[in-house]
Amino acid sequence: MSSRIHTRKMRLWVDYMAGCDAPFFNSIFTNMPLDTPYSLYNTVRKHAETISLLKAYAINADVVGEHNISNRLSQIYSFISRVAVLSYTVPDFDFSLSLANIYSIIVSAIRARPSISVIDNDLIEYERTIMEKVAARIHANATWILAPKAYPINLTMDKSAHPEKIFTFDGFKEDIYIANYEIDKTFYEKIPYHEYVVVRPEALYSTYVHNHKSITNELLNTLTESGINVIYLPRTQRDYDYIVNIKNQSKLWIPPNPLKGLDLVYHSKGVLTGSGTFAREAACMGQTAVSFFPDKLLAVDKALIDEGKMFHSRDPKKIATYISSNLNHHQSISFERSKNVKMQFIQILKLILEKDKSL
C-alpha cells in the first residue's frame, strides 16, 4: 500500500442508493477492524425511504440527485446529471465502496480511484435492454468485486472482470447486517398489531422489471379477508392505488414513519415482497419468507428456494394458503450463521482495503 496512506486516514466514499444500503453499510462500519485509521464521506440520492432510514441509523450524508421515474428520458437525464454532480463535488477519496451501484464505479473511474462493488444479485446480468447491457459492463469493470457464492460470477467475468479481483462469500448480502441486529423490545409500541405479516409491492417502475402486472391488490384483499393483519409498505405514491378497494381496512396499516426493516421482519409472522431484499432478510433470519417477484428469479433467491427457506409464487391464493399454514409454526430464528458470513465478508474487505496496490 502507498506510504501516504500510513501518514493519514484512509478516505472512503460511500454512495447510498436504496433503503437496504443503510443497514448494510451501518453493519460494515460498526467496529470495522482496520489497521489503518479511516474517514467516511457519504452521499445519498432521493429514493423511497432511503434518506429517512439513514437518519434512523444516524448516518450523515449529502443528498445528491434523485431517482426520477416519471419516464425513461427523465431517468436517463437524472442519471447523467447525478454522475456529473458527484464527479465534481465528492471530495478526494482513496476507495469508493458501494452496493450494486454504477454511480460509484463511474465516478471512481473518472477520478482514477479504485472502486469496491458488492454485487448482491444478478439482475444486471439479464441484459434485456440497452440500459441493462451498459450497467452489466460497468459493474464488471469495478476495481474489486465481492459477491455471494450463489451469484453467477462467470457472467461477470465474461464481461472483462478480472478473476483475481473477484471475491465470493458463503452467504448473502442480507446476512451482513442481520449479524448486527439487536431486538427492539419496544417495537410493539410502534405498531397496532401483535401478530401481522409484512407486504411490500413489486417495483414495477424499475428498469429491471419487465412484467408490469401487479398482484398486490388481490394479495392484500385475500390476506385481509382471511383475517390476517398486514403492515403494508408502499414505495411510491402509485403503490397506494392498491389499497383503495380493500374491504377489510382494519386489517391493513401503513406506518406513518419508516420502521427498521429487520424489526418488521423479526416480529412478523411472515414477510411477502414483490422484490427480493425483504424476503431474503426473512429467509436468512429463519422467518417465513415469500417472494412474488414478477420477473425472472434471481440466482440468490433460487438458492434460498432450493434450500426450502423461501417460497415463490404469483398466485395470491397460493401465497395466502402458504402464509396461513405457517402462521402458527415456530420459526427457528438464529443470527449465528449470519455472524459467520459477516466475519468472512469483513476479512475479505479488510484484505482489499489494506493490500490494494493501485494507489
User: Measured at the alpha carbon of residue 199, what is the angle toward residues 194 and 201, in degrees to the nearest 5?
Assistant: 160
Residue 290's DSSP bridge partners are 272, 311
Calculate the CA 355 to chain-centre distance.
27
User: What does the alpha-carbon distance between residue 309 and residue 286 come to, in Å, rounded to a whole number?
Assistant: 7
Sign of CA dihedral 290, 292, 293, 296: positive
- Per-residue confidence (pLDDT) for residue 3, from 0 to 100: 44
- Per-residue confidence (pLDDT) for residue 210, from 0 to 100: 55
The set of cell numbers assigned to 170 is 458463503
- Per-residue confidence (pLDDT) for residue 313, from 0 to 100: 96
- Per-residue confidence (pLDDT) for residue 328, from 0 to 100: 81
- Per-residue confidence (pLDDT) for residue 287, from 0 to 100: 94
**Burial of 247: CB neighbours in 10 Å, binned 0-12, 13-18, 19+:** exposed
Instruction: Give, in order, the Cα–Cα distances in Å from 149 to each of 24, 120, 142, 170, 311.
Output: 18, 10, 18, 6, 20
Give the burial string for 111-149 (b: 16+ CB within 10 Å, else e).
eebbbbbbbbbbbbbbeeeebbeebbbbbbbbbbbbbbe
- Per-residue confidence (pLDDT) for residue 2, from 0 to 100: 46
User: What does the alpha-carbon distance between residue 251 and residue 269 come to, in Å, rounded to a whole number?
Assistant: 14
- Per-residue confidence (pLDDT) for residue 60, from 0 to 100: 96
Phi-psi region of 185 (alpha: psi -120 to 50; beta: other; left: phi over 0): alpha
User: What does the alpha-carbon distance between residue 138 and residue 123 come to, in Å, rounded to a whole number?
Assistant: 13
Q: Which domains does the chain have, with CATH numbers?
A: 3-180+339-355 (3.40.50.2000), 187-332 (3.40.50.2000)
User: What does the alpha-carbon distance between residue 304 and residue 286 come to, in Å, rounded to a whole number?
Assistant: 11
Side by side, the strands of the sheet bearing 62-66 are: 62-66, 38-46, 10-16, 95-99, 115-118, 144-148, 166-169
Contact 146, 165 (CB under 8 A): no
Contact 196, 268 (CB under 8 A): yes
Q: Which stretches of the chain score pLDDT less than 50?
A: 1-5, 359
**C-alpha torsion angle, residues 274, 240, 222, 18 (rounded to 10):** 20
- Dihedrals phi, psi of 62, to nearest 5 degrees: -80, 130
- Per-residue confidence (pLDDT) for residue 19, from 0 to 100: 85
